[in-house]
Chains A and B, each alone.
Chain A
Amino acid sequence: MHLSKIKLPNLKDPKVSLSLLLQLSILLLSVVYPLLYPQQAHATVTEGFVRFDRLATGSTISGTACLKSTLTTQTKTEIVFPQGWTISSTVGNWTANTTGIVAQEKDPVGGGAAEAWPGIGNASAVSGLVVTFPTTAFTAGHYYCFNFSGTAASTVGAAGNDKTGELKTQGGAPYTDDMVFATSVVAAAADTITVSASVSATMTFSLNANSVALGTLSTGSVTSDPTGITQTVYTNARNGYTSWIKGTSATGGTGGGLHSTNANADITSPSSYPTVTDLTSATGVVIDTLAGGTNPPTLAAGYTGNGSSSGGHFDGGIFHQTATLTTPTGSSTVKYTLRAKIASTQAAASDYSDILTVTAAGSF
């Protein structure tokens, strides 16, 4: 065969040129096609989940996504929400962060603490059911999480089981990590339980003793009950409590004091409520108070003595306030100390006595 006999096509002929161009195009396409659509890589996701904060239909979409991968080339993350869910197409409605991830999330396999999803930020694109977030490269085998949130414009779809979606990361095209997940959507409010309890009003009142013996009274010094009687109040009344005291004997009018039946005489309580009397320069019987407990009350001025010789007036048949507390109390005490001093003309008798009544009420 001689080359001179080979008939070369006339490239100046438009038909021939177009024919060659067409054949070359077909050849080029057949070579390049596989490169345009490379086969999907596999098995880079080790584990992961997408956990929604609410699983009731109609709830606003938010949640946490976690993933462990062997890939280290991530540049984007996509969440593909289940079919039928309402996804806001406004990019600005989708936010992402890693708040609380390290402290609260852990790898379900192995239990190690989760790490903040590298480079995660607010959404960069929304298309249909797909929301895209920026991401930077993972370290292989690390467990990463991030929180995502839509606004009220994005809501969970109808109730049903096996609602599938995808969590994908991209390290090139197409997406190279693809974890398909399933979730369950329950009826409205079927994911919540209302818990209730009640606390009733309470009040506890007690006196640690019910008798006081002052002994033989003196004209030259003040005699005080050495131990006193302590009132203790417990109450959960939101405004606390108030306590009062009254005598029984009426020594003329309402005046209280100690009465002797045998001598038919009285040792009166001097002055009147709320005046405090110092018995170093007076005679009679008075009541001094001292606050204590975990929640000491405020003592009434009329019974706030000096702790040694003074005290307040009490009346027979009339309650006078001794203390008050404006908050609930676990233990609030008032110690009552009786003090007495007699005049030189006081009739002698061994039966001077009175009955004091102490009461308290909670302010609920």
Chain B
Amino acid sequence: MKIKHISIYIVIFFIVNYLLINQAFAGPSSGTYELKDYGFGSGGTVNSTSATYSLQGISGQVESASLSSSTYMMLPGLTYTLEPNTPPAPTITNPSNSYYNKLNISINNASNSTDTTFAIQIASNSADFSQNVFYVQSSSNTLGATPDWQTYTTWNSGSTFTLVGLSAGTTYYARVAAKRGTFQQGRWGAIASATTVNPSFTLSVRTTSQPSPPFSVFIGQLNAGTVTTSSDQVTTTITTNANSGGLIYLYGTNTGLKSPTAIAGGYTIPSANNDLSSGGILEGYGARGTSTSGAPMELLSPYNQSGDIVGIVDTTKREFADSSSSPVTGGQASFQLKAKSKTTTPPAGDYTDTITIVATGSF
């Protein structure tokens, strides 16, 4: 069969189906009007009550179809009377526009009775809920494939809770439906939306006297038995929306301050976690955190000591500050470098180390 014949067949197939469906569901009509929906009834009862039960009933009713415009929908008949109230749009937000994998949400019970259960439907990047449709799972506040009908109390009684496990840079549309009893699910309510941002991270480094690279810090002329402190501080600044905060590390290229010329094969003033002011420490080198700014920033041991107590600077990446497991904006941590020589430390003018700063966000 030729392709053209196949195409014609498909078109005819769909046209016939369309006509059959419209014929089956069309109401009585004249040349001007069509009765879209109708039913017949002969009285009934309203609010017949005893001490235990009440009855609302009619004999015959309007069919369950409804009339609607873009703004309103008419829900006539007993079916709709028995349905729970349709919840309004939930409140879904991205506070401070900083969440990249979570959003806050709260629902309204629309004055439904306490035995009413609700499901929260979420669609990612799909305003008409035609694809990527999920449901909030009450056990984990994550999204799952099946509706999770829970009471208003379980959904935090209208207070905000946090949806987690979302994707970055994605708009999430949310709506709520209520259900009363096994077969009386109402329709989905109005839609609200919020958008997750992308994860962010910035890092900058400077020294007291050098706002831009290359950076160098001269500790000074070391005198035997005396602790010498660099006049320049190194300041690191981070900004991140990482849920578990930002982490700042440092490491050196040597195991201390190394002079390639002091003696044959070089000589290194070793670095260790030490109190350099102690008489028992004849020589040494290390970093001591001096300050932080930005509320969650904190110096970490062993770099958070006072006086001449320093933390080791060697080839291992060592965390010297973090943002206390919280997102941070403009969080700073600074450190100085200290060294001490002994009487036998070989003289040289080229004791050096290169410190590398690395930082990351724990997302």
Contact = CB atoms under 8 A, between A and B. Distances in A.
User: A and B: partners?
Assistant: yes
Given A186-B203, A235-B343, A193 B357 contact: yes
Contacts of B207: 193
Most buried by B among A163, A187, A328: A328
Given A44-B165, A191-B358, A192-B215, A330 B344 contact: yes
A197 interface: yes
Contacts of B282: 330
Interface residues of A, number: 66
Interface residues of B, number: 91
A199 interface: yes
Nearest to A18: B1
Contacts of A204: 343
Nearest to B218: A196
B142 A43 contact: yes
A50 B360 contact: yes
A164 B356 CA distance: 22
Interface in A99-121: 100, 104, 108-109
Contacts of B165: 42-45
A114 to B, nearest CB: 12
B345 A199 contact: yes
Contact of A189 (B214, B230, B317, B344): B214
Contacts of B245: 108
B168 A164 contact: yes
Interface stretch (B6-14, B20-28, B86-94, B183-191): B6-14
B195 to A, nearest CB: 14
A211 interface: no
A201 B347 contact: yes
Interface string A182-218: 1110111111111111111110100000000000000
Interface string B164-189: 11111000000000000000000000
A247 interface: no
Contacts of A18: 1, 6
Contacts of B202: 161-162, 184
A268 interface: no
Given A42-B134, A202-B224, A194 B215 contact: yes
B205 interface: yes
Contacts of A277: none
Contact of A198 (B133, B222, B263): B222
B50 to A, nearest CB: 49
A11 interface: no
Most buried by B among A15, A18, A109, A180: A180
Given A49-B361, A182-B361, A328-B346, A195 B199 contact: no
B223 to A, nearest CB: 8
A47 B243 contact: yes
B127 interface: no
Contact of B356 (A19, A179, A191): A191
Nearest to B10: A22
Interface in A323-342: 327-330
Contact of A184 (B133, B224, B359): B359
A199 B5 contact: no
A244 interface: no
B103 to A, nearest CB: 12
Nearest to A13: B1
A53 interface: yes
Given A22-B6, A49-B363, A181-B363, A198 B351 contact: yes
Most buried by A among B230, B252, B342, B343: B343
Contact of A238 (B215, B219, B347): B347
A48 B134 CA distance: 25
B75 interface: no
B352 interface: yes
Contacts of B62: none
Contact of A182 (B199, B224, B347, B348): B199
A47 B352 contact: no
B255 interface: no
9 contacts: A51-B249, A51-B317, A54-B358, A55-B358, A181-B363, A184-B203, A194-B216, A195-B337, A235-B344
Q: 8 closest Cβ contacts across the A-B interface?
A: A43-B165, A43-B142, A328-B344, A42-B165, A51-B360, A182-B199, A161-B202, A184-B203
